[in-house]
A and B are shown apart, each in its own frame.
Chain A
């Protein structure tokens, strides 16, 4: 399409008919992939899941499907801040605790990576994907076992409960400092150790009520 006040495009600048047809076809396919990928960011229908599986090689390789929550928050526990903690419970570094994220400036990419990892561990736990939670916890624990030749560590994931808008600053349960540990709620906890054969083992630590439900007292 030539404009009124400019020369027509040179042959090199304008695409030929065959090139236009091929590129149009590719564009159409890409736009379909883009639509499917973006429309699946929050919730997915069974059809979307099937389409995502079919289109996975393309949309996953080029990272067209954004897996991060673009709604940023839904006000529920999933979108709150989370913290990972690895405590050495047996071995030369006994008592040492590593927290992720720890230190650094908020907004700085390495710290955000730690925050995202903590949230991923929590989300897998919330959704009942315990195998994934365990796999991630095991990886975190193994690093601490190997670094200090430790015998056992405990991996914990906490949710940092945000303050309510109108909270009671005088209550001990809700300190004024939002980074106080009183706001940490345990999401996942597991023991990680190396057995006699050198294999890393993981045992989830359940709340007492989950392991052995309280029985009703007989009157």
Chain B
């Protein structure tokens, strides 16, 4: 018998379209999706950091890009991803120390994470576009 045959028969591959998720699951999927997106843009963000610190002209160019429609959309999308991932992560750290594990509390904090991330992104948007 190979190691592969001895794998447990639990579902390994979850079809996201077929599952109807409770709010905690929805926040969890967004946690993963936002984390994946942020992971993939790290090199691009480092490039932006490099330009912003390199010279006055490069800094101005970044600022212009950030002020455009596309730049603002991408930037604020990433701000939302960061805030959502951050807050959902704090919620998980709470679970790790045994806080908020009851069903009611877990549902409540999931809603709070979802809306607080959107709210804080809106606040950031005001600052971004000002």
Asked if A pairs with B, the answer is no
B contacts, CB < 8 Å to A: none
Seen from chain A, the residues whose Cβ lies within 8 Å of a Cβ on chain B are none
